[in-house]
Amino acid sequence: MVFSEDSYCTLQDVKDIVPSDVIGDNDGQISEAKVLRLILKSTGVIEEWNGDRPFIETEDLEYIELCGLDRIMTRGYPIITVTKLEVQETDDSWTELEQGRDDNSDDYFVESERSGLIRFHNVPTESWCRVTYTYGYETLPYWLRDLCSKMVAKDMFRLKVYDQNCEGLFRYWRDEISSYGKDIDKYRKKIERHRVKAKSLGARWATTAKSELEIIREKAWMR
């Protein structure tokens, strides 16, 4: 399980959606330290749903096989910025390419930030490239914080629902937790739908490029 250095909600986010007397150090309450551990756990689960990719702003260096295609798709998305894209020469040296949309002077541009899709003006003759880029969200969207905090609240409920000392405390909270579960399912489908299916023209191109790459690799494997 992959964990981000930063979690996807805060202790206060959780306190805002649970009864005020649930968190504390008294008997029958859940400690703040325990809630923080649950936040970290939920953050890791969310990243697993996203293919072990963090949502927070992340810098990465990725090596990608070109295979004679005019597009590449980065593992991380959405792309915030591409710092450098280099191709490997036959002597194993690396040559940096120019980024921009001018066909005459530039080599590549980001065709779809949302899908992590980069397009070359001319198909590279080299076999490999390496991309230094930043992806994720500079500011976490509200729905991610809402998802994480509701996952934590649901875990807290599971911890204490069978505690006889807390029966009265949690009885009125049960319906709320049921609605949280529905929201969690909705957000999970949102993540999986974005990860698996093409949701824009750029994403459809990315899927096509990926399919072509797989065909090329299969043919090479069969030789």
Q: What pLDDT was estimated at residue 8?
A: 94
Do the domain assignments include residue 179?
yes
Q: Which amino acid is at 37?
A: R
Say yes or no: 41 and 102 in one domain: no
* Cα separation, 100 vs 120, whole angstroms: 10
Do the domain assignments include residue 211?
no
Query: Beta strand 94-96 with 117-120: parallel, antiparallel or unpaired?
Result: unpaired
Please give the tally of structural domains in the chain.
2
* Cα separation, 5 vs 56, whole angstroms: 9
Say yes or no: 153 and 180 in one domain: yes
**Range of the structural domain that residue 97 is part of:** 58-136
pTM: 0.72
Q: What is the pLDDT of residues 10-46, one digit of tens each?
A: 999 999 998 888 888 887 788 999 999 999 999 999 9
Say yes or no: 116 and 73 in one domain: yes
Segment holding 221, helix H or strand E: helix 201-222
Do the domain assignments include residue 18?
yes
User: Across all residues in the chain, what is the average pLDDT?
Assistant: 82
Q: What is the pLDDT of residues 190-213, one digit of tens each?
A: 888 776 653 444 445 545 555 555
Q: Which of 136, 156, 175 is the last residue of a domain?
A: 136
Query: Which residue matches tokens 């964990």?
Result: 3
Segment holding 63, helix H or strand E: strand 58-65
Among residues 95, 106, 187, 196, the alpha carbon closest in space to that of 147 is found at 187
Q: Cβ atoms within 10 A of the Cβ of 8, count?
A: 26
Q: What pLDDT was estimated at residue 167?
A: 54
Q: Which of 89, 112, 136 is the last residue of a domain?
A: 136
Say yes or no: 75 and 119 in one domain: yes
Sign of CA dihedral 19, 25, 31, 33: positive
Say yes or no: 111 and 143 in one domain: no
Say yes or no: 132 and 143 in one domain: no
Among residues 176, 79, 158, the alpha carbon closest in space to that of 118 is found at 79
Say yes or no: 62 and 112 in one domain: yes
Say yes or no: 49 and 143 in one domain: yes
Say yes or no: 149 and 127 in one domain: no
Say yes or no: 150 and 123 in one domain: no
Helix (H, G, I), strand (E, B) or coil at 187: helix
| Cβ contacts of 197 within 8 Å, gap of 6 or more | 203
Do the domain assignments include residue 97?
yes
Say yes or no: 46 and 149 in one domain: yes
Q: What is the pLDDT of residues 93-150, one digit of tens each?
A: 999 999 999 999 999 999 989 888 999 999 999 899 999 999 998 888 899 999 999 9
Do the domain assignments include residue 125?
yes
Do the domain assignments include residue 4?
no
Do the domain assignments include residue 209?
no
Q: What pLDDT was estimated at residue 161?
A: 60
Do the domain assignments include residue 93?
yes
